[in-house]
Structure 1
Amino acid sequence: MHRDPPPINRLRARAMRREPTRAEDMLWQALRDRRLEGAKFRRQVPLESYILDFVCFDDRLIVEVDGWQHAENPSDQRRDAFFRSHGFRVLRFWNEEVEENINAVCLRIISELKNRGE
């Protein structure tokens, strides 16, 4: 997998880290510093031609936090299929899910982390 993203994506990712959405910030506080199952997550990571909200490379797990603009988005489906074909698992949560029930979101991520390699 090509890890040298287009330069514009590096700039976009940096900007997205500086100004996260409320839901992204809430989830980052739960994921950072190996707080969840000891998994090392990174945020707003440019990879290939995409920017991933959160990724744990060791466990090949991508976590996306989406707003309404992602509802049944065909490009998101293609993106998820692309990463799955490269051995990643992809979890998607709505902003409202994260904001209203961060504990349930974290439990779902923990469950996925515990199912490593299955």
Structure 2
Amino acid sequence: MERLRESQELLDRGAKDAAFVLLWSSVEALLRHIASREGLPLERIPSSAVLKELFSLGFLSRRALDIALRAFSVRNSLVHGFESPDLDTALEEMTPLAQELLAEFDQAGSKTA
């Protein structure tokens, strides 16, 4: 996904806040694509509810849910103009999670194609 690459480029330049917000939007888009692929009508539901619904239906592991919920808190701080002391940890956790979700999405897509 192009956004993941752009997020890494921002991170490499030291723009952690921007990198994280772009990374979050990539993860949220992937989660919504997964929900859509599975026929779940989650387009207009808040991100936190999408996370919990995907977990309850078995599409997200407990570990992935925990990472995403912590990251959601960081996202909320950043987009509302606050600093987050958890930004570095969230970046470290979300980058591999985004890659895992993308791989799962690509793999599932190739099975249905």
Same fold (TM over 0.5): no
Q: TM (normalized to structure 1)? A: 0.30
As a proportion of its length, which structure holds more strand?
1
TM-score (norm 2): 0.31
Report which of the two has the higher share of helix. 2
